Amino acid sequence: MIKMFNLDNLLRDNIKRLVPYSSARDEFKGEASIFLDANENSFGSPLAKAYNRYPDPMQWKIKYKLAEIKGVPPQNIFLGNGSDEAIDILYRAFCRPGIDNVILCPPTYGMYEVSANINDVTIRKVSLAENFQLDLAALETAIDENTKMIFLCSPNNPTGNDLDREDIEAVLNNFDGIVVIDEAYINFSKQRSFIQELTEYPNLVVLQTLSKAWGLAALRLGMAFASEDIIHVFNKIKPPYNIGQATQDLVLEALEGISQVNDWIKTAVSEREKLVAELALLPVTENIYPSDANFFLMKTKDAKGIYNSLVEQGIIVRDRSKVEMCAGCLRITVGTKEENEALLNGLKSYTPVV
């Protein structure tokens, strides 16, 4: 396969032709003190802080701060209402409903499939190999002329492992559609992020989020990093004011707390190692798969029974036993020291029904 990446050929025609909504604040640039252009309430908001003005549609303050933290120019960043918004926009930009297809590598994150179904886009599944790494040969045969995107998740959810970097590079180098690398858990991994490779690969889209390591799941802020041309497409499609002012304010404040976040990452990884070592000794445990994230996949003798027994003790883990290649598996998020001890005790008190 010779790589011939051409963004224009990949985009849907309606998106190429699309004239995006132009908001009041898009049309005015410069200094002013009286804003009578957007039908806002000029008197204020019934809150301590005023939220009566529409927020910056491009969220530049956050992007400049993220540019510093990530070492990526602000023009290469898109911000969405969670990563899920970025995933949905990718489908709408590139995939003609009922015609185009995307490749997913299960077991992996469920939203790629749900979003494909919402957008009436065919899914081709190429399962991971036994070791939860990519099956490059099977990937190559699954690609046809209507394959627009390949979703890779590294570290992968629910398996927890990094995908091998050389394999990801092979996909980037040989596929001339869009390669989406979901790095929701990259902060916990020893792997380098692919966001430094944007100039190398015009077909690369990297997804990250503030929902995991950054501890901001409730604020809903997902990030996509890509070429300026691809980010331009995201900006055309997104709702004009997709990130509210309250989220923008709080995210800007939270981004100053990076040293606290880095401490938590170290703690989560060391707590994970401790917890895994102890769980490995329990009779209920069949296997714990190596993890590069803040969770791990544990194969048990009776996933359903163990899950129910934990629920009765007020402890919720994720039952993944019905997921392809995950028979008997529970996915467990690393908690605080106290929470992990409660989990261990909960599992010790589990007695199989015979």
Ligand X SMILES: *Cc1c(COP(=O)(O)O)cnc(C)c1O
Binding interface with ligand X (CB under 6 A): 82-84, 109, 153, 157, 182, 184, 209, 211-212, 217, 222
Min separation Cβ 114 and ligand X, Å: 12
Under 8 Å between Cβ of 191 and 69: no
Which residues does 73 contact at the CB level (< 8 Å), separation at least 6?
67
Min separation Cβ 105 and ligand X, Å: 12
Min separation Cβ 197 and ligand X, Å: 19
Cβ nearer to ligand X, comparing 11 with 317: 317
Cβ nearer to ligand X, comparing 149 with 284: 149
Min separation Cβ 157 and ligand X, Å: 4
Cβ nearer to ligand X, comparing 100 with 182: 182
Min separation Cβ 223 and ligand X, Å: 8
Cβ nearer to ligand X, comparing 182 with 292: 182
Cβ nearer to ligand X, comparing 11 with 207: 207
Cβ nearer to ligand X, comparing 82 with 97: 82
Min separation Cβ 341 and ligand X, Å: 25
Rg of the chain's alpha carbons, rounded to an integer?
A: 22
Q: Which residue is nearest to ligand X (CB)?
A: 82
Min separation Cβ 261 and ligand X, Å: 16
Cβ nearer to ligand X, comparing 154 with 340: 154
